[in-house]
Amino acid sequence: MKGAICLSAVLLFGCPMAMAATYIVDINHPQASDNNPGTPDRPFKSISKAAAIVQPGDMVIVKAGVYREAVRMMRGGTPQKPIVFLAEPIGSVIVKGSEVVKDWEKVGDAVWRETSWELAGKLGRETGRDFVFRREQVFCDGKPLQQVERREQMQAGTFWVDMDGKALYVWLPENANPNEKVMEVSIRSVLWTGDYLTPFVHLKGFRFEHCANRAQQGAIHLTNAYGWLLENCSVEWANGTGLKLDNCASMIVRRCQFNRNGQLGIGVGDGLDLTFEDCETSYNNRKGYSTSWEAGGVKVAAAARRVRFLRHKSAFNRGSGIWFDYAGYGHEIIGCVIHDNTDANAGIQIEVTFGVLIANNICYRNTRAKGAGSHFGSGILLQQSGFCRVYHNTCAENDNGLTLEGAGRAVLSAGNEVVNNIFAFNREFQVRVWDSVIHRVTGWTFPLPSFVPDPEKWARERLNRFDHNLYFSVGEKPLIEWGGAYNPGTPDKGQYRDLKEFATKTGQHSGWAQEAHGIVADPLFVNPSEGDFRLRPDSPAIDKGIPTEVKTDITGNERPKGKAPDLGAYEQR
C-alpha cells in the first residue's frame, strides 16, 4: 500500500498499477514521525519527508503548525498528474527559517548574550559590498529587531552579531528579558526549492517566514522549473526576496502575498509565460538595498517573455512597485494598483523592454529618493523602451505622471502609444518626454520586435503617439515637458500648458500633432485622498476615449458604457 489512501487498478491486460496517494503531515500529532507511513493516525512529522517520496498525482495534506525546515522537491508531476501540497486549513501552516533560542545570559543593564556555538556558526556573514548584505535576523515575539554593526551602536530594539566571539547580543524594547519572550533567529537560507527535474507542483495555502536568504535569492526559489502553481501562499520577513523564479516557464502565482521582505517581494530572471494574478508585494526593501540596483516590490529582468501582472497591488515599498529591466518583450501589466512607494524610480518602471501592454492601472503617490533624477518618482516610467501600449491608466499625485526618458544608451524609446489616460495632480509634470524620441529617426539600427506592425513604417517615422489623454494640475504650472536634458534642441522643445500650442508645434516639426484631442480639466475623482479614483458622474473624462484593445476597466466592467470609452482606469457605470 502507498501512503494514507492508496488505490490500485487493473489495467486492460490485468496488470495492477498503484495510483495516486494522499499523505498526511502533522507535526502536532502525538504519533507523528518520519518513520510512519503518512496516514491520518500515523502522519509524517516533516514536509520534507513527504517531498522525498511523492510521485506524480500524489497529494500531501499538511496540518496546522510551525514547520522549521527547508523543503527540497525531489521529483515532479505531469500536466495531468501534478503533485499537490495543501495546507489544511489554508494559512495555518507556517514554514519558518528560524529556530527558537533560549537560555540567554545577561551581560549588561539591558543587553543579553547567546553563545551557542552551533547557532553562531549558522549565522553567516554575506560577502557583499556593505552592511546591508548581511543575512542575520532576530525576532522577539514575532517582531524583528534592528541589526547594528558594532556593539556600541546597540540600543533598545537592536541586536549585534559578534562574528569573532561567535555570540549574539540583543537589547529588547523596554529592556525586556529575552528568556521571557519567544526569541527566533533565522538560520535557513531557503525554505522551498525546485528545478527542471520537479515540474508541475502545486503549492496551496502555505505561509513562509524568517528566511536567512541573501540578496537576489528567494525564500521560495525555483530554477528552470515549469508548470508550477502557487496559490493562497505568503512570504514575509525574508532577508532577501520573497519569491524568486530563475528561467522558469508556464507558471501561475495566484492570490499570494510577498510582503515585508528585506529586498524584494518578487524577483524574476528570464523565463517564459509567467502569470501573477491578484497578488501583493508591499512594504518590501525594509533593509534598504539600493533602489537603483534591485529593490522594491517586483523586479523582472534578463530577457523574460510574456510575464503578466494582473490585478496586482504593490504599495509602501522602498523602491519601484513593478520594474521590468532588460526584460524582453510581450508583457502585460493590467488592473494593478501601485501606490505610496518611496525612493521609487516609478510606480511602474519599464526599462529597455518592448511591447508591454500597460492598461487599467492606478499609480498614485509614488515618490523618488532625495537627490535622484527629476524624471524619477513617476507613476509610469518608460526608459529606452519601445512599442508599449499605455491605455486607460490613472496617474495622480506622483512626482511626475508619465515619463518617457533616455539615458544615453543606444536604444530609442520609439513606437509607444499613450492613449486614454488621466495624468492629474502630479507635483511636477503630468508628462515628461526626454530624448530623441521626439524626432524622426534616421539611420535606425536597433532590431525591431517581430510583433511590430509594418516595421518599415515605424522605423521610418519613429513616432510615439500621445492623444486622447486628460491633463490637470493646480495653478499655472506647465503640464508637459517635451524634450529634456538629452534633446539637443528642436523647434518643438519646451514646456506646455496649452495643448493647442503643443499640438501645433509638434505637428509642424514632425508632421504628427501630439494631443490633438487631449483635454485639460479636473477629472473629478470621487475621493482621491482615500485612494478612490473613480469618476464622478459629471467628470469631463467620461466618453472622451477612443476604442483600443482594452475592453473592460479595472473592475472588469465592460467598455464602453456610453458612446465612447471613459478615460483612466474606471468606466463610469
Write out pLDDT tens, residues 24-53. Answer: 999 999 999 999 999 999 999 999 999 999
pLDDT digits (tens, 9 = 90+) for 320-339: 999 999 878 899 999 999 99
Q: How much is the pLDDT for 8?
A: 38
More reliable by pLDDT, 485 or 181: 181
- Alpha carbon separation from 558 to 92, 278, 561 (Å, rounded): 38, 19, 7
Query: Helix/strand/coil (H, E, C) string of 245-290?
Result: EECCEEEEEECCEEECCCCEEEEEECCEEEEEECCECCCCCCCCCC
Report the alpha-carbon distance of residue 421 to residue 402 in Å, rounded: 10
Q: How much is the pLDDT for 531?
A: 96
Report the alpha-carbon distance of residue 252 to residue 226 in Å, rounded: 10
Report the alpha-carbon distance of residue 462 to residue 446 in Å, rounded: 12
Residue 408 has pLDDT above 60, yes or no: no
- The HSE-up count of residue 316 (CA atoms within 13 Å, CB side) is 8
Q: How much is the pLDDT for 213?
A: 93
Residue 165 has pLDDT above 50, yes or no: yes
Task: Give me the mean pLDDT over the 495-521 stretch.
Answer: 89
Mean of the per-residue pLDDT values of the chain = 89
- Indicate the length of the chain as a whole number: 573
pTM summary value: 0.91
Residue 448 has pLDDT above 70, yes or no: no
Task: Give me the mean pLDDT over the 118-124 stretch.
Answer: 58
User: Quick one: pLDDT band at residue 460, thresholds 50, 70, 90?
Assistant: very low
Residue 122 has pLDDT above 90, yes or no: no
Cβ atoms 201, 82 nearer than 8 A: yes
The torsion angles phi and psi of 460, rounded to 5 degrees, stand at -75, -40
Query: The cell 522537491 sits on which residue?
Result: 73
Residue 488 has pLDDT above 60, yes or no: no
Q: Where are the alpha helices (DSSP H) in 81-229?
A: 117-122
Residue 2 has pLDDT above 60, yes or no: no
Q: How much is the pLDDT for 119?
A: 62
Q: How much is the pLDDT for 1?
A: 40
DSSP-assigned letters across all residues of 371-422: TS-TT-SEEEEEES-BS-EEES-EEESSSEEEEEE--S-S----S-EEES-E
47: cell is 514536509
Give the CA radius of gyration of the chain.
27
More reliable by pLDDT, 509 or 62: 62
Report the alpha-carbon distance of residue 547 to residue 219 in Å, rounded: 43
